[in-house]
Amino acid sequence: MRYLAITLLPENFNFSGRSKSREEPEVVIKGGKLVSGVMDKNNLGEGSGLLLRNLHKKYGRQFALDTLGKMFKLGIALLMKRGFTTALSDTDLPGEAKAAIKAVFEKAEQDVAELISQYNSGQLDILPGRTLKETLELKILEVLNKARDETGKIVAMNVESYSHTIVMAISGARGTPLNLAQMAGCVGQQALRGKRIENGYYQRTLSCFKRDDLSPEARGFIKSSFKAGLKPAEFFFQSIVGRDALMDTALRTPKSGYLYRRLANALQDLKVEYDGTVRDSGKRIVQFSYGEDGIDVSKSEGGVLNIKRVASEALERGE
**Does the pLDDT at position 4 exceed 60?**
no
Phi, psi (degrees; rounded to nearest 5) at 221: -90, 125
Mean pLDDT of all residues in 24-28: 79
More confident residue, 55 or 311: 55
93, 97, 99, 100: CA torsion to nearest 10: -150
1 pLDDT tier (thresholds 50, 70, 90): low
Burial readout 174-186 (b: 16 or more C-beta within 10 A, e: otherwise):
eeebeebbbbbbb
pLDDT tens digits for range 73-112? 888 888 888 888 888 888 888 888 889 998 999 999 999 9
Which domains are present in the chain? Answer: 2-81 (1.10.274.100), 88-245 (1.10.132.30), 271-316 (no CATH)
pLDDT tens digits for range 276-288? 899 988 899 999 9
**Does the pLDDT at position 131 exceed 80?**
yes
The pTM of this model reads 0.73
Question: CA-to-CA distance for 219 and 189, rounded, in angstroms?
Answer: 8
